[in-house]
């Protein structure tokens, strides 16, 4: 039987600006933060990966790798596996931006548009707003970095200017924690809900 991580707000709460984040979602933030100082290079090159639980070397990666690694470390949840399995049965529902005729387990889960589609299909989407109180530690944000780069980041439990939560991401210089939540045009706001199975 699969084990489940229950992400419904527990009795023990970890506080952050404007509300509270569950202990489990704080764990997601902590595993994202643990990549700071380890992932030092932004490297978007295509690589053949192991499957499941494939990864590029920890010293490098792209924005999606921060999310992939955090979910694996926090919950043993393998986005590579779950995105690939969903795309095998629902390929036409995913963006057709790369000229592929079938899923590619080496790269699909490392592309922001595919993660947006997968998160929407899990029912994790939330409204986009400019209200600080609507963003909890552990939320996942997608955005567009000018001119047209799709980007993804995790909301931190630490705050910056005006009590705005920081974000943890890799935008070009390795994994960093920065005050950039509202810096770019947002395209998605997601929060893991209910439960997720161990891979």
Q: What is the mean pLDDT of the chain?
A: 89
Residue 116 neighbours by CB under 8 Å, 6+ apart: 142, 187, 188
pLDDT at 196: 67
**Angstrom distance (rounded) from CA 165 to CA 159:** 4
Q: Does the pLDDT at position 92 exceed 90?
A: yes
Q: What is the pLDDT of residues 38-79, one digit of tens each?
A: 999 999 999 999 999 999 999 999 999 999 999 999 999 999
- The pLDDT of 140-146, averaged and rounded, is 98
pLDDT at 21: 53
Q: Which helix (H) or strand (E) holds 188?
A: strand 185-190
Which ranges of the chain does DSSP label H, i.e. alpha helix?
23-33, 63-75, 79-90, 112-121
**Angstrom distance (rounded) from CA 158 to CA 122:** 27
pLDDT at 27: 95
Q: Does the pLDDT at position 12 exceed 70?
A: no
Q: Does the pLDDT at position 130 exceed 50?
A: yes
Write the DSSP assignment of 46-65 as a string of letters: -----SSS----TTEE-HHH
pTM of the model: 0.88
Percentage, residues of the chain above pLDDT 90: 83
**What tokens does 111 get?**
């592309």
pLDDT at 193: 84
- The pLDDT of 14-24, averaged and rounded, is 44
Percentage, residues of the chain above pLDDT 70: 85
Q: What is the pLDDT of residues 148-185, one digit of tens each?
A: 999 999 999 999 988 999 999 999 999 999 999 999 99
Q: What is the pLDDT of residues 169-179, one digit of tens each?
A: 999 999 999 99
pLDDT at 33: 98
* Domains defined along the chain, listed by start: 11-197 (3.90.1720.10)
pLDDT at 1: 45
Q: Does the pLDDT at position 99 exceed 80?
A: yes
């Amino acid at each position: 039987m699969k084990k489940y991580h229950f992400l419904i707000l527990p009795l023990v709460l970890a506080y952050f600006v404007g509300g509270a984040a569950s202990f489990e979602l704080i764990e997601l933030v902590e595993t994202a933060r643990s990549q700071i100082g380890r992932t030092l290079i932004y490297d978007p090159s295509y690589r053949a990966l192991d499957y499941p639980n494939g990864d590029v070397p920890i010293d490098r990666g792209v924005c999606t790798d921060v999310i992939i690694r955090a979910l694996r470390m926090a919950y043993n949840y393998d986005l590579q596996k779950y995105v690939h399995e969903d795309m095998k049965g629902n390929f036409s529902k995913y963006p057709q931006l790369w000229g592929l005729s079938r899923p590619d387990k080496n790269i699909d889960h490392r592309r922001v548009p595919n993660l947006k589609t997968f998160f929407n299909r899990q029912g994790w989407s939330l409204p986009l707003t400019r209200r600080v109180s609507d963003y909890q530690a552990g939320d996942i944000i997608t955005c567009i970095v000018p001119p047209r780069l799709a980007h993804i980041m995790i909301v931190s439990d630490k705050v910056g200017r005006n009590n705005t939560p920081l974000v943890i991401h890799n935008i070009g210089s390795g994994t960093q924690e920065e005050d950039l939540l509202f810096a770019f045009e947002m395209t998605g706001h997601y929060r893991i809900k209910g439960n997720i199975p161990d891979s």
